[in-house]
Structure 1
Amino acid sequence: MRRFTVQEANELLPELKRDLHRLQTLLDEYEEQKVELQRRKNTLASYTPESGGMDPFFEVEGRLDFMRLEVQLMVDNFERKGVLLKMVQPGLIDFPAIVDGEDALICWKEGEERASHYHGWHDGFRGRKPLPED
């Protein structure tokens, strides 16, 4: 498992912020499409595949399947970079690290300019503490 220094975490942060924004945008679009599909299904409740004709939902359901795969690839990309994506909305990213000689997670929350806090592996976000000064 990769371990990050504070400097490495903050150097990677601009790229992760862009990735996170793309993921958030895709998830918003996915939710909109899903709601629209459900609305259409409710409107055309009488349609059954046995009634003949083309499935009016095939295209949208296919697009949603593709979007779901794209979301999973984007989430997996965070893992490939060695970070832990804890939440998408709002964004919460942990960087495995060693802080004061102990295994820890450097923590960044969307809206923060840089990673400046950490917590233990089992402490979670509520256990956040400011990073020690060098």
Structure 2
Amino acid sequence: MGNKTFTLSEANEMLPQLQEDLRKLQQITEQFEDLYISYQKEKAAYEQVFAAIEGSEDPFFERESQLEFMKMEVDLLIENFSRKGVQLKMITPGLIDFPAVLGNEDILICWKEGEAEVSHYHGLHDGFMGRKPFPQDE
């Protein structure tokens, strides 16, 4: 496991900022997906009609540039989670793990979007299905 570990209270202190970051990430990924689907459909239709015309200008350059910029923004937002020492496991619904130690065992304190606070954990290899309530006497 990496260097940074969190206590339950540290994870909960970070949660509001992480939720804000997650909302931004969800918004831009939704916009990206909508734009990409639209782009794919329009480009396929265009290529069917204009594939035979040599030297025709590509009307999709601007949209492709916009998609590339959005992808870079998504990558940066995802990297921000790593820089803070947390693991973004899923964007929608949001699922975030905080490396921690319980007793002598390396664990992941976990939060799922919709939960008011961070209150569960699981082993490194148990995944979300292995979640258990975090002991009250942290």
The TM tier, using the shorter chain, reads over 0.9
Q: SS in structure 2 opposite 1:89?
A: coil
The answer to whether 1:19 aligns with 2:16 is no
For structure 2, the residue ranges without an aligned partner over 5 or more in a row are: none
Deviation at 1:38, TM superposition (A): 1.3
Counterpart-to-counterpart distance in 1, 2:57 and 2:69: 20
Deviation at 1:49, TM superposition (A): 9.1
Q: Contact 1:49 / 1:55 at 8 angstroms: preserved in 2? A: no
Q: SS in structure 1 opposite 2:19?
A: helix
Q: Considering only aligned residues, what root-mean-square deviation do their CA atoms show, in Å?
A: 1.3
> Which amino acid is 2:77 matched to?
M
For 1:109-128, list aligned pairs within 5 A: 109-128=112-131
Percent identity, please.
53
The answer to whether 1:54 aligns with 2:30 is no
For structure 1, the residue ranges without an aligned partner over 5 or more in a row are: none
Q: SS in structure 2 opposite 1:97?
A: strand
Pair 49,96 (structure 1): closer, same or farther in 2 beyond 3 Å? farther
In the other structure, the counterpart of 1:129 is 132
In the other structure, the counterpart of 1:78 is 81
Q: Mean alpha-carbon deviation: is it higher for 42-51 or for 122-131?
A: 42-51
> Which amino acid is 1:70 matched to?
E
Report the TM-score when normalising by structure 2.
Answer: 0.92
Deviation at 1:48, TM superposition (A): 4.0
In the other structure, the counterpart of 1:4 is 6
Deviation at 1:131, TM superposition (A): 0.3
In the other structure, the counterpart of 2:98 is 95
Counterpart-to-counterpart distance in 2, 1:4 and 1:50: 60
Counterpart-to-counterpart distance in 1, 2:41 and 2:121: 44
Counterpart-to-counterpart distance in 1, 2:68 and 2:96: 26
